[in-house]
Amino acid sequence: MDEVFRALADASRRSLLDRLHARNGQTLNELCDGLAMTRQAVTKHLGILEEANLVTTFRHGREKLHYINPVPIHQIGERWIKKFERGKLTALSELKRQLEKRDE
């Protein structure tokens, strides 16, 4: 679990996860496209995310595809959320989402 928090404690790595969340199964080239990071930096960050099991890779022919793996994040959530709280938290998140959407 320490490595999950370590991996998430970096804005560049979170933005890579955001990109995979928006479109899953990208190659290194696709992930580098439009980012202000060097290819080496992206490779390093992906390695850390993979080590923390937040990213899973898959070989598709000659390409290596990267997939976001939300299972560890889900486990972290489950650890501190009680069953009866979940409905209220879902309602709160939904409220926040709705209110913030209106400001856009």
Partner 1 sequence: MSKPEFIYTTYIETTPEKLWLALTDGDFTERYWFGHRVASAWEIGSPYKFSKQDETTIAGKVLAFEPPKRLSYTWDNQKTDLKHERSSRVTFDLEPRGKVVKLTVTHDNLDEGGKTFRDISGGWPMVLASLKSLLETGQPLPPMSSPAAQG
Binding site for partner 1 (CB under 8 A): 24-25, 53, 56, 58, 60, 65, 67, 69-75, 78, 83, 86-87, 90-91
Residue 35 and residue 48: Cα distance in Å, rounded?
A: 18
Cα–Cα separations (whole angstroms), residue 2 to 12, 52, 63: 18, 9, 30
Nearer to partner 1, 8 or 37 (CB): 8
Asked if 58 and 24 touch (Cβ cutoff 8 Å), the reply is: no
Distance of CA 63 to the CA centre of its chain: 21
Residue 36 Cβ vs partner 1, minimum distance, rounded to whole Å: 27
Nearer to partner 1, 33 or 63 (CB): 63
Nearer to partner 1, 35 or 65 (CB): 65
Residue 39 Cβ vs partner 1, minimum distance, rounded to whole Å: 22
